[in-house]
């Protein structure tokens, strides 16, 4: 196949894809990463993170990269994130959705060009075990997400979009955290076996994704300072990318896998695109912040000002990105069951 180029709707020039580069995927589950050959079918529990090397995707289109999972007659769609290295290599990142254990097929779609990958065989592993109360695990993770949003606001104070602005991180991100809390309240109050089973789903995905540790680590970097950053990351601090992944993981907790709440209750399924809009704002804001003179911007091969001088390159979403396609799920505010 000849690799040509096309102009994306937002004006970016992107190569027409040879979608998958190489024969392996990286699967990260419960803090452990494994390189898994595509030929033998990567294996991951719901919530695990799959990273696949790709080419030709447009990282500026947050609604332009779609992962389609097919399993047991069900089809689940997820927007993926495209991360670009300093050398220009692209990685398609997506979480395993809440599917039953067994064989599945994953297909990557470039919605801008119409290209799609060949089908990828997957094995969905059983749900990760949860230690302790499911509710307590979920609440603790949401508390960490709120703390990280507040820490971002503190860092962005004075930029016009931080704690001193109506466009703060908390104002943008807290409604999605509140959605997860309201969904949990419905499940806790249901009193049925299916309510308890549904509650264990998000808790299990928290364990598989490692999101609690991810959020705690990013919060520490935001609040402890450059010495912590240097100790943890050396010359290249990718915490913006890690925070991005953590936020998407929290958004994905609103996916309740077809859970039918008790009569009179509603639950909301917002998915990660809602966080994508807010995170795009964070990245645009940090681009306007000047890095410190102590650390060169080129520490990771990037010549862009990120506001955190040693941050690795990250995908930038511009205001010209199109709105979510029609497949975007409802964002109806969930109703808490009267007590």
Question: Domain boundaries in the chain?
Answer: 5-124, 134-300
Most confident stretch, 5-19, 68-82, 310-324: 68-82
- pLDDT one-digit tens code per residue, 134-168: 999 999 999 999 998 888 888 777 666 555 666 67
Give the helix ranges, DSSP H, for 234-289.
Answer: 239-252, 273-287
Could you report the per-residue pLDDT of 53-63, keeping only the tens digit for each?
998 888 877 77
pTM: 0.77
Q: Cβ atoms within 10 A of the Cβ of 2, count?
A: 5
pLDDT at position 56 is: 86
The CATH architecture to which 5-124 belongs is Sandwich (2.60)
pLDDT at position 84 is 81
% the chain with pLDDT above 70 = 65
pLDDT tens per residue, range 81-132? 888 877 888 899 999 999 999 999 999 999 888 888 989 999 999 999 999 9
Least confident of 15-29, 194-208, 281-295: 281-295
Q: Cα angle vertex 182, ends 177, 184, to 5°?
A: 95
Q: Of 164, 263, 151, which Cα lies nearest the Cα of 216?
A: 151
Tokens found for residue 25: 């995927």
pLDDT value, residue 46? 96
Q: What is the mean pLDDT of residues 191-212?
A: 94
- Return mean pLDDT, the chain: 74
Per-residue confidence (pLDDT) for residue 135, from 0 to 100: 96
Instruction: Give the Cα separation of 274 and 227 in Å (integer).
Output: 33
Tell which wins on pLDDT, 1 or 98: 98
Report the pLDDT value the prediction gives residue 298, as an integer from 0 to 100. Answer: 35
| Cα–Cα distance measured from residue 135 to residue 203, given in angstroms and rounded to the nearest whole number | 7
**pLDDT value of position 149:** 86
pLDDT winner (highest mean) among 43-47, 305-309, 333-337: 43-47
250: Cβ contacts below 8 Å, ≥ 6 apart: 141, 142, 145, 176, 177, 180, 211, 215, 275
Measured CA to CA in angstroms, residue 253 lies from 145, 235, 256, 269, 316 at distances of 12, 33, 7, 9, 24
pLDDT confidence bin for 335, thresholds 50/70/90: very low
270-293 mean pLDDT: 53
**For position 338, what pLDDT does the model report?**
29
State the pLDDT at residue 160: 60
∠275-280-285 over CA atoms, to 5°? 130
Contact in structure between 184 and 140 (CB atoms under 8 Å): no
Question: What span, in angstroms and rounded, lies between the C-alpha atoms of 235 and 224?
Answer: 17
Strand, helix or coil at 92?
Answer: strand
Provide the pLDDT confidence category of residue 18 given band limits of 50, 70 and 90.
Answer: very low
Considering only residues 310 and 142, tell me which one the structure prediction assigns the higher pLDDT: 142
- pLDDT digit string (tens) for 90-99? 899 999 999 9
* pLDDT level of residue 248 (50, 70, 90 thresholds): confident
Higher-confidence residue of 300 and 125: namely: 125
């Amino acid at each position: 196949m000849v690799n040509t180029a096309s102009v994306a709707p937002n004006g970016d020039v992107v190569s027409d894809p040879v979608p998958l580069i190489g024969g392996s995927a990286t699967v990260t589950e419960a803090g452990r990463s494994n390189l898994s050959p595509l030929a033998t079918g990567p294996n991951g529990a719901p919530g695990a993170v799959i990273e696949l090397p790709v080419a030709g995707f447009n990282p500026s289109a947050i609604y332009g990269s779609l992962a389609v999972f097919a399993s047991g007659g069900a089809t689940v769609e997820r927007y993926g994130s495209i991360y670009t290295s300093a050398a220009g290599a692209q990685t398609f990142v997506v979480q395993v959705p809440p599917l039953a254990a067994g064989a599945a097929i994953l297909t990557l779609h470039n919605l801008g060009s119409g290209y799609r990958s060949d089908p990828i065989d997957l094995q969905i592993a059983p749900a990760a075990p949860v230690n302790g109360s499911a509710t307590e695990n979920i609440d603790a993770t949401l508390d960490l997400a709120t703390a990280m949003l507040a820490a971002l606001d503190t860092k962005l104070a004075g930029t016009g979009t931080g704690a001193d602005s109506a466009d703060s991180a908390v104002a943008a991100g807290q409604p999605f955290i509140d959605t997860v809390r309201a969904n949990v309240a419905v499940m806790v109050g249901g009193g049925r076996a299916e309510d308890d089973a549904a509650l264990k789903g998000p808790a299990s995905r928290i364990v598989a994704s490692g999101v609690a540790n991810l959020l705690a680590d990013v919060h520490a970097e935001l609040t402890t300072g450059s010495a912590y950053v240097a100790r943890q990351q050396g010359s290249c601090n990718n915490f913006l990318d890690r925070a991005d992944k953590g936020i998407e993981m929290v958004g994905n907790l609103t996916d309740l896998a077809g859970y039918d709440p008790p009569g009179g209750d509603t639950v909301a399924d917002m998915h990660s695109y809602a966080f994508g809009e807010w995170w795009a704002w964070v990245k645009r804001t940090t681009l306007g912040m000047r890095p410190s003179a102590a650390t060169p911007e080129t520490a990771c091969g990037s010549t862009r000002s990120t506001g955190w001088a040693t941050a690795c390159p990250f995908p930038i979403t511009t205001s010209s990105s199109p709105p979510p396609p029609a497949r975007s799920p409802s964002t109806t505010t969930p109703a808490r069951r009267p007590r």
